[in-house]
Chains A and B, each alone.
Chain A
């Protein structure tokens, strides 16, 4: 099948989903559960810039999500005077995230891969402590509340918003992969010394990948806060969130854009749809489903994500949809600019 056609079909399906949903029996309705997955895919694409393209492991992406969510909330909440609306808030969230990313990345990018991973992990922990402790600004453990949205299907506009952003991102990132910038990142990933000896400014390339990752994770935070109308609690942005995003990238296939999106759908679907539906099923069968019951599917989450990482690394380190490292040449001219022509 033709690649652009597959993309368009997928886009159409996801766009029609809220309306298909209305036809389903109430129990099977997904409601607002797919929107979070689209948002997760945005963060995963951002992380993929770093992990897949530049080959740098980031274990602290949750920190950037937290920064984005809080920056967005501060910029839009009625508690504070800024109230610049969604677009301004989202752009501000991305900018603040990227700035924080620059502060972290500038001194750490020369580190070895596994040390960089631990630095990002430590930073993730620090960020969580920061949003908890700076309670004059962030309201600490209570979080910032935004003006609630109204309407029964209020999740529709965040849904289409996330979908639109995702579609734009897929096109832009695919384009980037097929450009000298994508090749430079790939060269740095393959052999940093050879890359700089071949004229690639390796450190700058890695810095931009880091900034891109930070900005997109920040955007995810903004979308998340916008959908929930709440900044989230500091504990929402713990290592588990970093791991969910990372699992999506690794499961789908590092460096592969369709792979990462599929990974986000599997991990996000598991997290917010399958586990929830199984839990509902338990309740309908009259079984206990609170966090104290071991049968409750949410108590299996760690095991599932952990096994997923272990098994993928062992048997399919390239992911479910491995990246095509050998890029096809763009046709000379006149193919209408369709991306990813295979």
Chain B
């Protein structure tokens, strides 16, 4: 079964259609390359698949699940809770001075009489009843609308893609450059080995969890060959190392699919060869790889399949050899031959 299915995906920016009804799928365990001339819509497609920018239409399915979060029971409960909470808040606040007057001031009278909680409660309830249900209704509607809106915009977020198991790197490297190399990986680590209380109080669970996390982070750094740099600021690394660190950070979340956006950009041929090895090793860990790449030796060297985009449209798909001989692909890269 396909791990990632992209179906008739369209992304528009104003009048410009950057990705036009593109469909393809990536099978588990494959390395698939997405190629095409500059401006073909490759990064836009990545952004849609990782929910960085929403698609205008079309569907992305990952491991059988829609990238858009479904309206779950928990989400509905949150909306309901928000409606009730805001409704109650508005009902209480709409005439809080009057409420205070009848429940506290009138019933206490500067200590002249004992304050009976139950009595005050009844007075407050009577007062709230007398206000009529409108504040609560309006507040509840606003709360529900706000919570629904929050859910609607939140159902398609990078975090959702990541939690489904899609990790990515960025074309223009986006590391946490003031943090140390190992902290970058630690931020990306999946799992929550300890809670906030353990962290605030340095409970043994914090120490155990932190040690385990650091071991995993160091393993990942060793995997991409950066263990020597664990404690330097990420922003100080050379360019090629930063790309590797991004890969390590992406792998830290135990993804099933890794999206690499031009991992070999700015690398020399030797580094490119190392990168091919690294991508193969990533696949060997059981991670499926989808990459955007311009270096044809990288693409041809490792891809199981290649998808070619041009002007937002998929023009070819197949194994590297077939694609490289496809006249439409050659035309897209070299321009139409004058007959």
Give yes or no for direct A-B contact (beta carbon below 8 Å).
Answer: yes
Residue B309 is within 8 A (CB to CB) of chain A in the complex: no
Residue A290 is within 8 A (CB to CB) of chain B in the complex: no
Residue B151 is within 8 A (CB to CB) of chain A in the complex: no
Q: Which stretch from A1-9, A63-71, A74-82 is at the chain B interface?
A: A74-82
Q: Which residues of A contact B214 (CB under 8 A)?
A: 329
Residue B76 is within 8 A (CB to CB) of chain A in the complex: no
- Given that A136-B105, A137-B100, A337-B202 are contacting pairs, would A329 and B231 also be in contact in the complex, using a CB cutoff of 8 Å? yes
A330 B207 Cβ-Cβ under 8 A: yes
A191 B159 Cβ-Cβ under 8 A: no
Residue B125 is within 8 A (CB to CB) of chain A in the complex: no
B52 A176 Cβ-Cβ under 8 A: no
User: Considering residues A180, A181, A182, A332, which has the most beta carbons from chain B within 10 angstroms of its beta carbon?
Assistant: A180
B174 A194 Cβ-Cβ under 8 A: yes
Q: Mark A132-168, 1 if CB is under 8 A from B, else 0.
A: 0011110000000000000000000000000000000
* Interchain CB contact (< 8 A) of B52 among A136, A179, A197, A327: A197
Q: Which residues of A contact B107 (CB under 8 A)?
A: 81
* Interchain CB contact (< 8 A) of B104 among A80, A103, A191, A202: A80
How far is A190 from B335 in the complex, measured between Cα atoms in Å? 42
How far is A339 from B207 in the complex, measured between Cα atoms in Å? 12
Residue A196 is within 8 A (CB to CB) of chain B in the complex: yes
B187 A176 Cβ-Cβ under 8 A: no
Question: Size range of the interface on B?
Answer: 35 or more
B146 A329 Cβ-Cβ under 8 A: no
Residue B96 is within 8 A (CB to CB) of chain A in the complex: yes
A202 B159 Cβ-Cβ under 8 A: yes
A175 B170 Cβ-Cβ under 8 A: no
Q: Which residues of B contact A81 (CB under 8 A)?
A: 104, 107-108, 111, 115, 120
How far is A184 from B201 in the complex, measured between Cα atoms in Å? 18
Q: Which residues of B contact A178 (CB under 8 A)?
A: 210
How far is A306 from B111 in the complex, measured between Cα atoms in Å? 47
- Minimal beta-carbon separation of B19 from chain A (angstroms): 19
Residue B157 is within 8 A (CB to CB) of chain A in the complex: yes
Question: Size range of the interface on A?
Answer: 35 or more
Q: Mark B131-167, 1 if CB is under 8 A from A, else 0.
A: 0000000000000001000000010011101110001
Least CB separation from B180: chain A residue: A326
How far is A205 from B183 in the complex, measured between Cα atoms in Å? 17
User: Considering residues A103, A175, A199, A339, which has the most beta carbons from chain B within 10 angstroms of its beta carbon?
Assistant: A199
Least CB separation from B214: chain A residue: A329
A186 B176 Cβ-Cβ under 8 A: yes
A134 B97 Cβ-Cβ under 8 A: yes
Q: Which residues of B contact A107 (CB under 8 A)?
A: 146
- Given that A183-B186, A190-B179, A326-B232 are contacting pairs, would A175 and B199 also be in contact in the complex, using a CB cutoff of 8 Å? yes
- Given that A175-B200, A197-B168 are contacting pairs, would A327 and B115 also be in contact in the complex, using a CB cutoff of 8 Å? no
* Interchain CB contact (< 8 A) of B162 among A136, A179, A196: A196
* Interchain CB contact (< 8 A) of B211 among A134, A196, A332: A332
A333 B231 Cβ-Cβ under 8 A: no
Q: Mark B24-45, 1 if CB is under 8 A from A, else 0.
A: 0000000000000000000000
A199 B162 Cβ-Cβ under 8 A: yes
A183 B183 Cβ-Cβ under 8 A: yes
Interface residues in chain B, defined as those with a beta carbon under 8 Å from any beta carbon in chain A: 50, 52, 89, 96-97, 100-101, 104-105, 107-108, 110-111, 115, 120, 146, 154, 157-159, 161-163, 167-168, 170, 174-180, 182-183, 186-190, 192, 194, 196, 199-202, 206-207, 209-211, 213-214, 231-233, 249-250, 252-253
Query: Can you name 8 extra interface pairs (CB under 8 A) apart from A81-B107, A186-B179, A200-B159?
Result: A107-B146, A190-B177, A191-B176, A198-B252, A199-B159, A199-B162, A199-B253, A329-B214
